[in-house]
């Protein structure tokens, strides 16, 4: 295959609406972190998520997590409960504020925060520290909805605000309702590899006008209304640029097409790998209709499912006994570049191995696919196993670490065609020994 198949790359709209909005920004000299495109993009997002929410467009999903934590009153010495099975952007902002992340492991069905373990963690933190955690941060891992009904019930009972990290779950739904609209705040990301992109950017879903205004203040250096610069709180330069927002407005015209495509790719993987021994495609819980008072909950005339994932990335697990070509050479040499094209400077590892890593057959399959022009990656390494968080409290059941050892992400973006999926599956099958 001549082209390289990447894990997930954004796709511009065929109508070129992104270029139209960008050109308007240049023509009207709105090349700043505010303007008509920013306002328009926020209105588009508010219409998309519904529930009468207000949205602030920001420079990144990470900044959205940061501002949501501030809005929940997180200060140095506080604790925040966060899902361990996630990307570091879910937890790093907690440390920006001098607070401590308290990691909670996953349940097996969705790979997301285990509600039972969440309550264990809350009770134990109260017993150990004498105070409640300031917030709870569940994560829509690879777009999969979390058990938000149970998480919200527990959070409401202990009166702890929930910040939904739906950065990977834009457009995913639970019982017909868009993720990011259940908790007090909802985090979105529009990085270059997300469901839609603004090249880099994010947004925070807020509950009401007052919360929206306060977040807006924090996102624009928290300036007071004087004819000169007066600052009474520490603010941040987190507002999205009018240029990036123009891309976002164009992307909103194809968001439903993108989501449908990801679901289509997931279905193809499920069908084509169904009879491949040792490979399991992870999928959302099936056969669960959303019921309200014993009646099927209808959304636009359609029966709504409890779990409705956008399948931002499609994932598989490998049986530990599965043998892959080249497996005997896995982890024999140090990786000198960041797998997956990570931005910025990286350190060359001192050793080819760590105390927590994917199994050798997973690494061998990654290398085999890379040589075939296919980008694949291990699933996220749980945060409680990251060296930077070795001192952080963690409530674990072994689920996320077990999945990390056997899990792999497969390409799923808008550029991935049906023929690409067939080629990927054929490559996986060819890599299997025996």
pLDDT by residue (tens digit) across 183-236?
999 999 999 899 999 999 999 999 999 999 999 999 999 999 999 999 999 999
**Contact indicator for 97, 88 with CB cutoff of 8 Å:** no
What pLDDT, on a 0 to 100 scale, did the predictor assign at position 99? 98
pLDDT score at 22: 86
The answer to whether the CB of 378 falls within 8 A of the CB of 362 is yes
The pLDDT, as a whole number, for residue 340 is 60
pLDDT of residue 322: 98
DSSP state of 4: -
| pLDDT single digits (tens) 279-338 | 999 999 986 665 555 555 655 555 568 999 999 999 999 999 999 999 999 999 877 766
Is residue 181 over pLDDT 70?
yes
CA 54 to mean position of chain CA atoms: 20
Instruction: List beta partners, residue 135.
Output: 80
pLDDT at 430: 98
Q: Is the pLDDT of residue 95 over 80?
A: yes
Q: Mean of the per-residue pLDDT values for the chain?
A: 93
Q: Tell me the per-residue pLDDT of 225-283, one tens digit each, with 9 for 90 and over.
A: 999 999 999 999 999 999 999 999 999 999 999 999 999 999 999 999 999 999 999 99
DSSP SS3 for 319: coil
Domains, the chain, in order of start with CATH, read 17-251 (3.40.640.10), 256-431 (3.90.1150.10)
Q: How far apart are CA 190 and CA 201, in angstroms?
A: 5
Residues 21 and 41: beta-carbon distance below 8 Å: no
The sheet with strand 177-178 has its strands ordered as: 177-178, 173-174, 307-308
Judged by DSSP in three states, 72 sits in coil
Q: Give residue 289's pLDDT.
A: 63
Task: Give Cβ neighbours of residue 174 (< 8 Å, ≥ 6 apart).
Answer: 145, 146, 148, 149, 182, 306, 307, 308
């Amino acid at each position: 295959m001549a082209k390289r198949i990447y894990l997930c790359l954004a796709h511009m709209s065929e109508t070129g609406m992104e270029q139209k909005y960008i050109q308007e920004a240049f023509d009207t000299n709105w090349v700043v972190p505010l303007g008509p495109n920013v306002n328009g993009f926020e209105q588009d997002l508010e219409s998309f998520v519904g529930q009468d929410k207000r949205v602030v467009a920001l420079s990144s999903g990470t900044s959205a997590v940061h501002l949501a934590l501030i809005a929940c009153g997180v200060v140095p010495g506080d604790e925040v409960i966060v899902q361990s099975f996630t990307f570091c952007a879910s937890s790093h902002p907690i440390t920006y504020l001098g607070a401590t992340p308290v990691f909670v492991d996953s349940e097996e069905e969705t790979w997301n925060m285990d509600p039972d373990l969440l309550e264990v963690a809350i009770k134990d933190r109260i017993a150990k520290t004498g105070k409640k955690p300031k917030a709870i941060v569940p994560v829509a891992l690879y777009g999969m909805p979390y058990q938000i009904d149970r998480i919200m019930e527990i959070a409401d009972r202990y009166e702890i605000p929930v910040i939904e990290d739906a950065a990977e779950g834009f457009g995913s739904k639970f019982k017909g309702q868009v993720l990011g609209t259940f908790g007090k705040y909802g985090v979105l990301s529009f990085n270059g590899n997300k469901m839609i992109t603004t090249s880099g950017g994010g947004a925070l879903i807020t509950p009401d006008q007052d919360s929206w205004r306060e977040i807006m203040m924090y996102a624009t250096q928290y300036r007071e209304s004087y004819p000169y610069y007066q600052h009474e709180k520490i603010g941040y330069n987190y507002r999205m640029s009018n240029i990036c927002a123009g891309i976002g407005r164009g992307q909103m015209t194809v968001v439903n097409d993108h989501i449908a495509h990801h679901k289509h790719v997931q279905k193809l993987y499920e069908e084509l790998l169904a009879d491949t021994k040792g490979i399991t495609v992870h999928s959302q819980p099936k056969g669960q209709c959303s019921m309200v008072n014993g009646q099927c909950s209808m959304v636009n005339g359609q029966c709504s499912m409890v779990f409705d994932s956008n399948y931002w990335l499609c994932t598989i697990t490998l049986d530990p006994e599965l043998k892959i070509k080249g497996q005997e050479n896995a982890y024999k040499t140090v990786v000198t570049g960041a797998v997956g094209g990570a931005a910025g400077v990286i350190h060359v590892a001192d050793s080819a191995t760590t105390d927590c890593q994917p199994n050798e057959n997973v690494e061998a399959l990654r290398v085999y696919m890379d040589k075939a022009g296919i980008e694949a990656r291990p699933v996220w390494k749980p945060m409680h196993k990251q060296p930077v968080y070795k001192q952080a409290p963690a409530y674990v059941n072994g689920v996320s670490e077990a999945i990390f050892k056997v899990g792999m992400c497969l390409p799923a973006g808008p550029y991935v065609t049906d023929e690409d999926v067939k080629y990927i599956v054929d490559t996986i099958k060819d890599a299997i020994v025996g």
